[in-house]
């Protein structure tokens, strides 16, 4: 077996390691989401690569073909892509909400704020209030009861 002939598996391994490295090395939540997205893409490529059969055709009866590729991996990956986009959107919405609540998207700073470590007023990032447009309802951050 020629290792260079299996280049798609090498691409999968490289993308997986890049995505995994980004997730574990960066403290920025947006970068972590992008690392997870790269990792997820490598899994898609892996499943599509495994679903390919040399010398086979789509499962449509035609003369001259004896073997057929299963469409199931491709259909599953289409579903996984849609789910991946939706979960990435939810993750980005959560990051936006965390940014509103904490003023940062860096893991270390959020953990410092949550642990109640001694933070001087100079270290706290103050957010500028967003200008309100006429007729736009005012948004509140926090619980409905507060």
pLDDT, tens digit, 9 for 90 and up, residues 1-20: 677 778 889 999 999 999 99
Q: Comparing 111 with 67, which gets the higher pLDDT?
A: 111
Sequence-distant (6+) residues with CB within 8 A of 125 are: 103, 104
Q: What is the mean pLDDT of residues 108-124?
A: 74
Structural tokens at position 89: 């959107």
Segment 74-84, tens digit of pLDDT: 889 999 999 99
Compute the distance between CA of residue 42 and CA of residue 16 in angstroms, rounded to an integer. 6
Report if pTM > 0.85.
no
C-alpha 78/C-alpha 87 separation (Å) is 14
What pLDDT sits at residue 35?
A: 96
């Amino acid at each position: 077996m020629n290792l260079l002939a299996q280049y798609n598996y090498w691409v999968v391994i490289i993308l997986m390691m890049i995505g995994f490295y980004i997730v574990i090395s960066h403290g920025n939540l947006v970068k972590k989401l992008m690392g997870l997205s790269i990792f997820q893409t490598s899994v898609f490529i892996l499943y599509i690569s495994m679903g390919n059969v040399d010398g086979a055709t789509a499962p449509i009866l035609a003369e001259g073909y004896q073997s057929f590729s299963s469409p199931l991996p491709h259909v599953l990956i289409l579903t996984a892509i849609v789910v991946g986009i939706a979960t990435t959107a939810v993750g980005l919405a959560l990051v936006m909400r965390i940014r509103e609540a904490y003023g940062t998207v860096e893991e270390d700073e959020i953990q410092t704020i949550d642990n109640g470590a001694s933070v001087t007023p100079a270290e706290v990032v103050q957010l500028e209030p967003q200008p309100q447009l006429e007729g736009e309802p005012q948004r509140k951050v926090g619980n409905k009861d507060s």
